[in-house]
Amino acid sequence: MNNISHLLKLILIIVITNFGFHQVIAQQLVIVEHSIIIKSEKAYLFDFVSDVLNDHKWREQVDSMVIVDSEIYGKGATEYLRVNKKKQNITTTYITEQTDSSITFTTPDTDEYYFQARRTVVEMDDGQCLFTTLFEFDNNITKKVAPFKIPKLMTKLATKSTLKKEMKALKRLIEKAHNKT
């Protein structure tokens, strides 16, 4: 029995070491993904959604974004949301992966709550692109905007609804700009 408990402790240490503490709390992980087709050139759309300083233009709850630069984590941004008429710092994320069609922002392992956002643009036919956003986050982060942790299902439904609304706003904004050119 003692060997089994040592083995389980060793496995737990390996998991935490290789995947980070935040990955161990998978039961609290909320995953939400949504896609929308937008008439735009891929480079234009990707440049727009990759620049978080544009977020307030299409993400209704965003009050402001502040660019940060860390010697340890690199470039990132601190997001301030308007929640219940109050400006709140939700999280600081850093660019952890970037290609010519995808950018990923992730909280550092030292952060209290795990949060990751991935934005991807895929070119389609007829001058259209498929824009996808994927959120993965620790549901405990909801304690930052509510007096208690919001149930996971409610968090997921609210996040999906907000994401759909934001992406429709992005589509209108980008296609309006596209029609002007």
Q: Per-block average pLDDT, block size 10, for the chain (181 residues)? A: 56 52 63 96 96 93 91 92 77 93 93 93 94 95 85 92 96 86 56
Mean pLDDT of the chain: 86
Tens digits of residue pLDDT in 43-64: 999 999 999 999 999 998 898 9
**Under CATH, domain 27-180 is a member of which superfamily?**
START domain (3.30.530.20)
Residues 6+ apart with CB under 8 A from 136: 29, 30, 31, 114, 115, 116
User: What are the residue ranges spanned by the domains of the chain?
Assistant: 27-180
For residue 142, the 8-state DSSP code is G
- Strands (E) across 84-158 are located at 86-98, 102-106, 115-123, 128-138
Longest dimension (CA), the chain: 72
For residue 9, the 8-state DSSP code is H
Starting at the edge strand that comes first in sequence, how are the strands of the sheet with 102-106 ordered?
29-39, 128-138, 115-123, 102-106, 86-98, 74-83, 62-70
